[in-house]
Amino acid sequence: VGDIGEKCGLNGIDNGFVVFTNYRIPRDNLLNRTSDVTPEGAYESVFTEPGKVLGAALESFSAGRIGIMQESANTLCSAAVIAVRYAAVRKQFGPERQGEEMAILEYQLHQYRIFPYLAAACVQKIATEELTITYMEIIARSQADSNGFDILTQNAAEIHALISSSKPLITWAARDAIQEAREACGGHGYLAAAKLGQMRTDHDPLCTYEGDNNVLGQQASNWLLRQWSAKQLESPIGSVKFLEQRKELLALNYASLVQKTPMSSWQFSLRCYEWLLCHLMARTTTHIEGQLAAGCSRFEARNNSQVAGARELSLAYAEYYALTRYVNHVSKLTVEAPYASILRLLFDVYAMWLLEKHMTTFYVGGFAAGRDFSAAVRQLLLDSCLQLKDVAVSIADAISPPDFALNSVIARADGLLYENLQNEFMTNEGAFQRPSWWRDVIIPQAQSKL
């Protein structure tokens, strides 16, 4: 038994090791909620179907992964808040040489860099909460019903697929948001007091613990491909109910869709995603079948199909789920028109930003031809970012933790960026003192060569 040593971050959590070498675990110490071993050495299970054993085992991982998603949603919010608040106060350059400088939030490129993460924070916060509620309701029903295990196992596979795809999406989004925020805040973002550095090292392990993101995504895509090939859809939560219209969806293209469903509607983005998911399922299935026909084992065929479509499929599924949960939640709210338009702007920024990431697949798959689709998506994204500019700080204030929790000198709620920075510099321990070793690096009576 020992300690593994210091880590890159999260050193408040002490990790150690324990080694067992040919050590017998007594029967009485086995964890036996779903299965057991008799004194005679026979294995017993409460399930008659092997698939249900796996479902119950997978469910036990879900709570921890949901916790990671919630933590990542909070981290994503914090990174977006720091970037937006800083950009609203930091001024650089301007249209006139002798004129007043502009806040960097006014620049289109800066909006394009940071606003998608602000929108992602809002959408993912809601989507994660909705998934948590769904999970807790299933657990509550399973504990209250006499057929609790059946309820649990019926939903376990879909819950596992949702979490296995959503955990990578949100942890990677938070990781990227922290990095973009750090760069968007320039050298000030690199200060320890800005907290982005500590946030980055503390968040980084979330991408690999409780399931490595790239491995989890494969589990989600496996479930999706089973649904694509199944004679009867098994989606009690309804996350892939659109597969019932797969033929109609695959027949869609941008020209036909935009005639019936304008880009200004929620449904435009959702229909695009439903086409995308159907296309990726069909393409990946075809690729796997080709690998099998070439003599590969099923294990090899699946491994060789990740880049061909399975990896993108898993992420697109999580993105689609987040967007549908956001629309479902926001549609139930009773809010005044100005606030409703802001909620819509957040959706447009996030949805268009995500659709841009899949643009190659939309064109290769035949959904779009020519420049119209990509140009329309890009223009709506830029227009939405511009409209979001005037309310971005208010949104950041709404999702921000208190100053003592955010603990960033460059993003306090008072907006006094320069005053807070100056105070931080002036009160920094040893700020006006020479280091004890300063004489060691001074060359006595050094002469200039100029």
Cβ-contact 188, 86 below 8 angstroms: yes
Cα 172 from Cα 175, distance rounded (Å): 5
Pick the closest to residue 364 from 255, 279, 259, 247 (CA basis). 279
Count, residues in the chain: 450
Q: Choosing from 210, 274, 312, 319, which is the catalytic residue? A: 210
Which parts of 185-230 fold into alpha helices (H)? 186-189, 196-203, 213-229
**CB burial string 22-34: b at 16+ within 10 A, e below:** eeeeeeeeeeeeb
Rounded to 5°, angle at Cα 205 from 204 and 211: 130
Residue 210 among the catalytic residues: yes
What does each C-alpha distance from 330 to 123, 191, 241, 355 come to in angstroms?
A: 10, 37, 21, 20
In DSSP terms, which residues pair with 37 in a beta bridge?
43
Rounded CA-CA distance 259/252 in Å is 11
For 107, list phi and psi in degrees, rounded to 5. Answer: -80, 135
- Residues annotated as catalytic are 210
